[in-house]
Each structure stands twice: as C-alpha cells, then as structure tokens.
Amino acid sequence: MKKYSNKYALLVFVKNAELGRVKTRLAQSIGDTNALTVYRALIEKTKEIIEPINAQKVIYYSDYIDEYDQFPEKVFSKRLQMGDDLGERMKNAFESAFNVGFEKVVIIGSDCWELDSETIEIAFDGLNESDVVIGPAYDGGYYLLGMKKLNSEIFANKEWSTENVLVDTLLDVEKAGCTIRLLQTLSDVDYAEDLPDELKLILD
C-alpha cells in the first residue's frame, strides 16, 4: 500500500446495524433478517478494504457512535453524522475534515461490495491532478467522492437515492469550474439482483 502523509482523510459513512433499519429496499424482497446479514457482511468488507489505506480513517455513524463494534478506536476515529439529509451530512463531514487541516478528503459508504483498496488509492492519487474524484455507481449515484477543498454546491438541491444524483453532481462540478476524475463504475447492493454470489451464500 502507498505511503500517504497525515493530511489524507478517508471518511466512511455507515448505518448502525439494527434489524429493520438497514438495506430497507433489499429487505422488501429478502426480509429484514437477511438484509441485516447482508449489511453486516458489507460492513466487514468495508473494514477489510480500508484497513490498509494509509490515511486518517473516520467512521461516521447514522444514529449513535458504537464504541464496541468491529472498528477499534485505536485505529479508527468515530463521529456522528450531522444534518437533515445525506447531502448536508456529507458536507458537514468534509467541512470538519478540511477545517482541521486535511488536504485530501475521500468519502465512501458501506454499500459497494465491489469496492477495493486499490480503487480508494486511485481516488487519492487522482486528487493530485483533479479537483474532484467521483466513483460512479450503476444506479445513477456514486460510491465515492473525493475533494481537495470544500465545494458545498455538490451537496445542495439533490434528490438523494435517485438515478439523477451523479448527473446533477457532475453539472455542479462543471459549474464550479472544477476539474474531475471519474473512476470505474461499480454496483451498490440495494436490491436482490445486486447481490453478488458471495452474499447470496450467507442468506437463509
């Protein structure tokens, strides 16, 4: 893994893994219990791919900070997501990172089974040449966003969890006069048809 300075921050948005409150769209077809099983596996996979990244790792929880989960506080900083919608919560997380001096900030979620450590490193490297790095998702959103300075417009006036998020974000980046690097397109796990074979095997 590459050696980065301590000016790099990797922000990870997660939901607290509770029955009936995670992967709700997926749960409509496979049930709440299986949806929770899938989400726990996604969290484990996320931990696995971010551990080798040489950056400050900050876990942002949806409802409360879990002090006893799989993210040890000796390795991961822990924060609570703050804001009325996803855009505001992400903006606040980026703002917090830049305010304490981080120079490159990348955010990911915990829904993309296909995401790997190399892609995250490519994102940080992409910020050497570009102002913004985005990892597009097949559903019209994105699984990764990276910036060198805060661009608040990216997070405003979006219909989150819709197929227009990526296009609207790209338009905002263009309006701001920022350069952009697009990563490979990957799939989020939102519906039964998105489940990879590895996750199908762990279901009841």
Contact 43, 199 (CB under 8 A): no
CA neighbor of 149 nearest in space, from 172, 130, 123, 162:
130
Secondary structure (3-state) at 76 = coil
Q: What residue ranges do the domains of the chain occupy? A: 8-200
pLDDT band at 6 (very low <50, low <70, confident <90, very high): confident
Inform me whether the pLDDT recorded for 3 exceeds 90: no
Q: What was the pLDDT predicted at 115?
A: 98
CATH class in words for 8-200: alpha beta
Residue 58 and residue 9 in contact, taking contact as beta carbons nearer than 8 Å: yes
Task: Look up residue 1 and give its two tokens.
Answer: 């893994």
Closest CA to 124 of 7, 6, 3, 8: 8
Other CB atoms within 10 A of residue 33 CB? 13
Q: Is the pLDDT of residue 4 over 90?
A: no
Report pLDDT digits (tens) over 50-103: 999 999 999 999 999 999 999 999 999 999 999 999 999 999 999 999 999 999
Contact by Cβ (8 Å): 97, 85: no
Mean pLDDT to the nearest integer, 37-55: 97
H-helix or E-strand spanning residue 107 = strand 104-108
The angle at the Cα of 91, spanning 55 to 36, to the nearest 5 degrees, equals 75
pLDDT attached to residue 204: 72
The whole-angstrom separation of Cα 29 and Cα 140 is: 21
Alpha helices by DSSP H, listed for the chain, are 24-30, 32-50, 86-99, 117-126, 165-175, 197-200
Tokens representing 54?
């040489």
Distances (CA, A) of 193 to 115, 177, 189: 17, 37, 8
pTM of the model: 0.95
